[in-house]
């Protein structure tokens, strides 16, 4: 499978610090302090998931043995529209993690003003240890177990960690076989182009991260760094997101000086920019980044501590925590992954003057272009790549403008006892205000 490649887990002194539900609850409570005049009961509606599903997935392996996997699908909220969120395959997938990621999707869609609610799914498995046939069986059985809990107008999956367009093709084909005679193309996004996929979808998350960072700098949020031209960048995670971001950064004049994956990382000799062509060839041939000419080998911990302008964690969650936040030497952290910075680390970074461009903005490119794919499937029409990239840029720019404006307003508010000085809280307040406004207008049924 070719989904996002995780970087090696970094250590932490507190297991509780990295608990997914704890991170989400803390972020929510921080934003709640800045939502004045709202009924606390309305806010309580927005935190818990609307529906959680756990299924057992018995599958016959290639050697004839029967093995049962556990899968999850969480629909967090449908205030703005159908549930939307990826399906990930990873040994560490849990209901707690999936629930937290579903909440992030709700906030992400609200911030980007996309008419979707939040959802997420996953299967606890080791995809690298399963054959293509076994992965296909696991996927198809998972879809059949979910039944009508997914659908084009109810809950729409997409690719995520270690899933890709092939996985989405299996999901579509299985769902379509169980629902004949309907237009089922919108049931899943991130499909192959030949099956109704969208131009630009595979690059959307990495492109969105670069666009958000570019806009942030152009707004003067970082002193003496007004553009990506000349910026020094380190990227943790060299899967789909990291690769695309690296290429687009180089096109804009930035220098990617270091990258890493689950097997280690490389730093350009003498601080020069990496040769991405050599890097990609090395990765394709050997499966690792280590060994590229004119580089030296570094660990993921080394990469997080590099002196750079932008640090892009594009791997797993919890990579920057209380145990290593003091070592970070970037001016801006762009969250290409979900939840890479813990609340405790957020506090440390904010006090040190390091900006964190939050995940619900920085990696929203994927769900944005997924929305465009969904619309194209409903309309039985396809949009050109230039149109899609232009729409993506406009939506990311608009969201970044609103977040920065709110951040600046909060930071200058002398009457604000709990002054907001971080972009994450500003983004969450922006998202939650939209959700509470819709909830007030719709009311609570009955």
Domain boundaries, the chain: 48-190, 204-362
Tokens 């997420």 belong to residue: 120
Residues 6+ apart with CB under 8 A from 272: 255, 257, 294
- Return the residue matching tokens 């990258």: 259
Exposed, middle or buried: residue 13 (CB in 10 Å: 0-12, 13-18, 19+)?
Answer: exposed
> What's the pLDDT at 11?
41
Pairing mode of beta strands 117-124, 87-90: parallel
DSSP code for 341: B
Q: Name the residues annotated as catalytic.
A: 120
pLDDT tens track, the chain, 446 positions: 444 433 334 444 445 666 888 888 889 988 988 887 777 787 788 999 999 999 999 999 999 999 999 999 999 999 999 999 999 999 999 999 999 999 999 999 999 999 999 999 999 999 999 999 999 999 999 999 999 999 999 999 999 999 999 999 999 999 999 999 999 999 999 999 999 999 999 999 999 999 999 999 999 999 999 999 999 999 999 999 999 999 999 999 999 999 999 889 999 997 789 999 999 999 999 999 998 989 999 999 999 999 999 999 999 899 999 999 999 999 999 999 999 999 999 999 999 999 999 999 999 999 999 999 999 999 999 999 999 999 999 999 999 999 999 999 988 875 655 567 899 999 999 999 999 999 999 988 88
What is the CATH code of the structural domain delimited by 204-362? 3.40.50.720
Q: Which residues pair with 51 in a beta bridge?
A: 75
Same fold, 48-190 and 204-362: yes
* Number of Cβ within a 10 Å radius of residue 63: 7
DSSP classification of residue 260: E
The pair phi, psi for residue 364, each rounded to 5°, is -80, 0
Q: List the CATH code of the domain at 48-190.
A: 3.40.50.10860
């Amino acid at each position: 499978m070719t989904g996002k490649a995780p970087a090696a887990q970094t250590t932490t002194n507190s297991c509780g610090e990295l608990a997914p539900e704890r991170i989400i609850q803390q972020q929510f409570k921080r934003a709640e302090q800045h939502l004045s005049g709202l009924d606390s009961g309305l806010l309580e509606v927005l935190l818990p998931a609307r529906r959680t599903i756990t299924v057992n997935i018995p599958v016959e392996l290639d050697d004839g043995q029967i093995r049962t996997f556990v899968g999850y699908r969480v629909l967090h909220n449908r205030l703005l529209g159908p549930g939307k969120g990826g399906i990930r395959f990873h040994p560490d997938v849990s209901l707690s993690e999936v629930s937290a990621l579903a909440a992030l999707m709700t906030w992400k869609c609200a911030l980007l003003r996309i008419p979707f609610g939040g959802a997420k799914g996953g299967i606890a498995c080791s995809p690298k240890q399963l054959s293509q046939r076994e992965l296909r069986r696991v996927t198809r059985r998972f879809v059949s177990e979910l039944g009508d809990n997914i659908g084009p107008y109810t809950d729409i999956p997409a690719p995520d960690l270690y899933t890709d367009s092939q996985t989405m093709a299996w999901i579509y084909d299985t769902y379509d076989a169980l629902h004949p005679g309907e237009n089922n193309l919108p049931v899943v996004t991130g499909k192959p182009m030949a099956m109704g996929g969208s131009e630009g979808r595979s690059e959307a998350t990495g492109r969105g991260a670069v666009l958000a960072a570019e806009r942030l700098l152009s707004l003067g949020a970082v002193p003496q760094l007004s553009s990506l031209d000349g910026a020094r960048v380190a990227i943790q995670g060299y899967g789909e997101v990291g690769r695309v971001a690296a290429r687009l950064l180089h096109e804009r004049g930035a220098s990617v000086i270091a990258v890493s994956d689950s097997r280690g990382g490389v730093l350009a000799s003498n601080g020069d920019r990496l040769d991405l062509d050599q890097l990609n060839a090395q990765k394709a041939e050997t499966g690792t980044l280590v060994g590229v000419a004119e580089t030296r080998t570094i660990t993921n911990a080394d990469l997080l501590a590099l002196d750079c302008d932008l640090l892009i964690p594009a791997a797993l969650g919890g990579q920057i925590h209380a145990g290593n936040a003091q070592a970070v030497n970037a001016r801006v952290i762009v969250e290409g992954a979900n939840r890479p910075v813990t609340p405790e680390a957020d506090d440390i970074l904010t006090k040190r003057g390091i900006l964190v461009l939050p995940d619900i903005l920085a990696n929203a490119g994927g769900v944005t272009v997924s929305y465009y794919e969904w619309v194209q499937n409903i309309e039985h029409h396809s949009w050109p790549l230039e149109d899609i990239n232009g729409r993506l840029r406009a939506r990311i720019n608009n969201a970044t403008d609103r977040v920065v404006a709110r951040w600046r307003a909060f930071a200058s508010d002398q009457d604000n006892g709990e002054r907001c000085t971080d972009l994450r809280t500003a983004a969450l307040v922006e998202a939650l205000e939209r959700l509470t406004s819709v909830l007030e207008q719709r009311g609570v049924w009955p």
